[in-house]
Amino acid sequence: MIKKPMMFGMIASLWSFGLILIWTQNPLLQGFLFILVTTLSIVTALTLNERYQKRETWHQEQLEYRLSKTQEAEEKTHEQLDTLVETLSSGFMLLDYEGVFTMANKAARDLLQKLTVKQETIQDLKASKPLYEAIYQSFIAEKPQRHQVRLGDLTYDIQTSPLFQAKLFMGLIVIMSDITQLKRAEQFQKQFTADVTHELKTPLSAILGSAELMLRHTHMTKSEHDEFLDTIFKEAKRLEKLIADLLIISKMDRIDYELKKTTVSMPDLIKECTETSQSWFANKGLAFTELSEAADLLIDKDKVRQVILNLLRNAAHYTDQGSVQLKGYIEGAFYRIDVSDTGIGIAKSEHENIFKRFYRVDEARSRDSGGSGLGLSIIKNVVLKHQGKIEVTSERAQGSTFSVWFPLPAPSHR
């Protein structure tokens, strides 16, 4: 095939030859010039042709290089996408238009394996009825759907979405997300709201009932009158305490809640608390002793004061005779505070429950104390927020010891 530069060379030599013929009459010179011009033209044409071919090859190489780079980038994107899908915490599956599994990531494979479901066709899902129903409905209807299903002890959100190509059903995408924690939190919140409503209603009903009786019975004796007034006062106080504790809880439940930490001398703080609580023990004729080892801690002083006071208040309230003792001392990397009493004690089976919100072992006694049933749950929350811990040692009628641990500052900060 004659390339473009070769053509130019030939045309140029023909033109040159024509011009020479017109310009000179000497046949010898004509012959010589003809050979010269033709040779030059051919050499020029060949040189141009070689250059042209080199450029062509260079262009082709460039194209091939770019193509390979694009392919490489595409393969990399594919690989990244595969890794992303494979490592997703949600289960991801693809079914084709015949209901055959074409893909399932690790989370999906693990879940199906746990449910002892094979992963070949949609029919295999029958081994787990709720999962099969959630997916099959969408597959048959060729419509996106969303279901919340219980799979074993977990709750899953199943999202399905059909795939179409030129309006033709090609298959189904299935995404399965574990929402157990979310459901638990939702349930916990619902229960808490119900408990709060109940707790608020009880003192409010007592206040309203007493006030109504006082209004209706105008000829009450002084002692009857005082009794109703006393109830109103006590229940209003309880309401006040409940609302105050609820406010503390709602503040501490916030994600952005932060302790206001300062360096605090523990013997000083303990002394402050024992001074406040002296009268609680004295009023009940209980002996009280306190012993505290020197240490400076980086803590939220107000919150830790609340912890110590709450433990002392409970000890006073749930002890009818004997004594209460407070001991503060260094134990390993912690400062430990023990509040021990010789009171009614707590059965072992209740130990876990008493730290739950509104849980009371002895409902009547707790109400009588004006307690909200939130004290220990607040204490536990404060202690955990300080990276500490809390434990109870107790038996029914054997007294109780509540122990809290707060971390000591790192040696370089002491």
Residues near ligand ADP (CB under 6 A):
314-315, 318, 341, 343-346, 354, 359-362, 366, 369, 371-377, 400
Q: How far is the CB of 343 from ligand ADP (least distance, A)?
A: 5
Backbone angles phi, psi at 410, to 5 degrees: -55, 145
Q: How far is the CB of 274 from ligand ADP (least distance, A)?
A: 16
Q: How far is the CB of 313 from ligand ADP (least distance, A)?
A: 8
DSSP 42-100: HHHHHHHHHHHHHHHHHHHHHHHHHHHHHHHHHHHHHHHHHHHHHH-SSEEEEEETTSB
Q: How far is the CB of 394 from ligand ADP (least distance, A)?
A: 7
Between 171 and 367, whose beta carbon lies closer to ligand ADP? 367
Between 91 and 373, whose beta carbon lies closer to ligand ADP? 373
**Distance of alpha carbon 12 from alpha carbon 3, whole angstroms:** 15
Q: What does DSSP assign to residue 123?
A: G
Q: How far is the CB of 379 from ligand ADP (least distance, A)?
A: 7
Between 160 and 372, whose beta carbon lies closer to ligand ADP? 372
**Distance of alpha carbon 281 from alpha carbon 324, whole angstroms:** 8
Between 177 and 381, whose beta carbon lies closer to ligand ADP? 381
Q: How far is the CB of 367 from ligand ADP (least distance, A)?
A: 8
Q: Which residues on adjacent β-strands are paired with residue 391?
A: 403
Between 183 and 351, whose beta carbon lies closer to ligand ADP? 351
Instruction: Report the residue count for the chain.
Output: 414
Between 249 and 298, whose beta carbon lies closer to ligand ADP? 249
Which residues contact residue 374 at a Cβ distance below 8 angstroms, ignoring those fewer than 6 apart? 242, 245, 246, 248, 249, 357, 358
Alpha helices by DSSP H, 170-291 = 180-216, 222-252, 266-284
